[in-house]
Chain A
Amino acid sequence: MQRRRFVDITSATATLGRNQSGSVIRFDRAAGIVITLPTARAGLWYDFLVKTSVTSNAYEVEAAGTTKVGGALVNSKDDTASKSFLGDGSSDTKVSMNGTTTGGRVGTYFRAFCDGTIWHIVGDNASSGSEATPFSS
């Protein structure tokens, strides 16, 4: 039987290690968390889910150094048409979720893969209000 390793983040900042690749990283601090990904290396991957909705500041996943972030996140509102946002992989460096329009609420689940050059982010991002992009530089 295979099981996934869960890592609960409850501090304001955290830097992931390569040895945590394959883990499910849980956001668990309503006052926000900034998570820094490790230096880009092909094959690293992490799943992220929100255990506690962020209510102040933001939940952020940022690339280290000059590495960029690409991908797609669907900002999902309950019982409402969804809106997608694309990260361009050339200028975006992070995913930032504010607890409302840019997501970061319970229900959020996405995966980050590294191809050795950029991080690809794919998944669902539970949001509210008028959706806005979670990708930024």
Chain B
Amino acid sequence: MDNRIRVKSITDDVTLGKNDSGSLFVLKSADGLTVTLPTGGRGLFYDFVVGTSVTAPDKYEIKTQTADKIRGVLVNSRDDTASKSFVATSSDEIDMDGSTTGGLIGTGFRLVCDNDGVWNVFGLNGSSGSEATPFA
């Protein structure tokens, strides 16, 4: 038996459930979409990759619940170009616009929730142009 993870394609706005923890979500909408995380809980984790690059001015948005925050680092990765990292210490969202703030094919990151309701993020964020923070 193979050890596969659950894969779910997202093509429209969605709120994730705790029972989705451990899944790989493939973002697939050039017109953008919003993913709302569940209320933070210790050990919840979600992986995201971009299957379809979002087209500016639309965005891929990953949002927390009001009381929760995002911390961590995303490396905005441009093809054949020096990378630039962005650090979040208390953000509410990851916003990727299909260019400077990422959201292109190549993007892959994980969000893991700790004891304090903080979502810790790490990974790579496919971007273009003059990189800007995806954290808001």
Q: Do A and B assemble together?
A: yes
**Does A120 lie within 8 Å of B81, measured CB to CB?**
no
Question: Which residues of chain A (68-100) have a CB below 8 Å from chain B?
Answer: 70-72, 74, 81-89
**Does A87 lie within 8 Å of B82, measured CB to CB?**
no
**Chain A: interface residue total (CB-CB under 8 A):** 36
**Does A42 lie within 8 Å of B7, measured CB to CB?**
yes
Instruction: Report if B116 contacts A (CB, 8 A).
Output: no
Contact segment of B13-21, B72-80, B86-94: B72-80
**Chain B: interface residue total (CB-CB under 8 A):** 31
**Does B5 lie within 8 Å of A45, measured CB to CB?**
yes
**Does B26 lie within 8 Å of A83, measured CB to CB?**
no
**Does A86 lie within 8 Å of B77, measured CB to CB?**
yes
Instruction: Report if B108 contacts A (CB, 8 A).
Output: yes
Residue among A89, A111, A115 making CB contact with B7, cutoff 8 Å: A115
Question: Which residues of chain B (106-136) have a CB below 8 Å from chain A?
Answer: 106-109, 123-126
Instruction: Report if A128 contacts B (CB, 8 A).
Output: no
With both chains docked as a complex, state the minimum distance between the C-beta of A20 and any C-beta of chain B, in angstroms.
Answer: 8
Given A21-B3, A84-B78, A115-B7, residue A74 in contact with residue B83 (CB < 8 A): yes
Instruction: Report if A107 contacts B (CB, 8 A).
Output: no
Instruction: Report if B65 contacts A (CB, 8 A).
Output: no
With both chains docked as a complex, state the minimum distance between the C-beta of B91 and any C-beta of chain A, in angstroms.
Answer: 21
Residue among B7, B77, B109, B125 making CB contact with A116, cutoff 8 Å: B7
Residue among B6, B109, B125 making CB contact with A43, cutoff 8 Å: B6
Instruction: Report if B104 contacts A (CB, 8 A).
Output: yes
- What is the CA–CA distance of A44 and B9 in the complex, to the nearest angstrom? 15
**Does B1 lie within 8 Å of A84, measured CB to CB?**
no
The interface residues of chain A lying within 8 Å CB-to-CB of B108 are 71-72, 111, 113, 120, 122
- What is the CA–CA distance of A18 and B2 in the complex, to the nearest angstrom? 5
With A21-B3, A85-B79, A86-B106 already in contact, 5 other A-B pairs whose C-beta atoms are closer than 8 Å: A71-B49, A72-B106, A84-B82, A122-B106, A123-B124
Q: List 5 A-B contacts (CB under 8 A).
A: A18-B2, A21-B2, A71-B108, A113-B108, A117-B51
Residues of B within 8 A of A (CB): 1-7, 9, 24, 26, 47, 49, 51, 75, 77-83, 104-109, 123-126
